[in-house]
Amino acid sequence: MSKIHLIPYEVEEIYEASSEIPEGVTMIQAPEVWEEAEKGSGNVVAIIDTGCQIDHPDLKQRIIDGKNFSSDYNGDQDNYEDNNGHGTHVAGTIAASSKQENGISGVAPNANLLIVKVLNGQGSGDYQWIIDGINYAIDWEGPNGEKVRTISMSLGGPNDVPELYKAVKRALDAGIPVVCAAGNEGDARSDTNEFAYPGAYNEVIQVGAINFDKNIAPFSNTNDEIDLVAPGVEILSTYTGSKYAKLSGTSMATPHVSGALALVINIAEKQFNRRLTEAELYAQLIRRTVPLGYAKSAEGNGLVALDVLSQFEKLFKTFHTPFKSRSVYTSFVTEK
Tell me how crowded residue 315 is: count the other CB atoms within 10 A of its CB.
10
Reduced to 3 states, what is the DSSP secondary structure of residue 246?
A: strand
Q: Cβ(135)–Cβ(170) under 8 Å?
A: yes
Distance of CA 124 to the CA centre of its chain: 21
Residue 198 preceded by cis peptide, ω within 30:
yes
- The span from the CA of 156 to the CA of 23, in Å, is 26
Measured between alpha carbons, how far is 208 from 180 in angstroms, rounded to an integer? 9
Task: Assign 239 to helix, strand or coil.
Answer: strand
Integer Cα distance of 278 and 55 in angstroms: 32
CA 334 to CA 215: how far, in whole Å?
46
Residues 264, 40: Cα–Cα separation, whole Å: 8
Show the CA angle centred on residue 249, arms to residues 61 and 171, nearest 5°.
60
* Amino acid found at 103: G
10 Å CB burial of residue 42 (0-12, 13-18, 19+) is middle
Q: Which residues are catalytic?
A: 49, 86, 251
**Type and span of the H or E element at 234:** none
Helices (H), the chain: 23-27, 30-37, 86-95, 127-139, 162-173, 250-272, 278-287, 296-299, 308-319, 326-335
Alpha-carbon gap, residue 276 to 103, rounded angstroms: 33
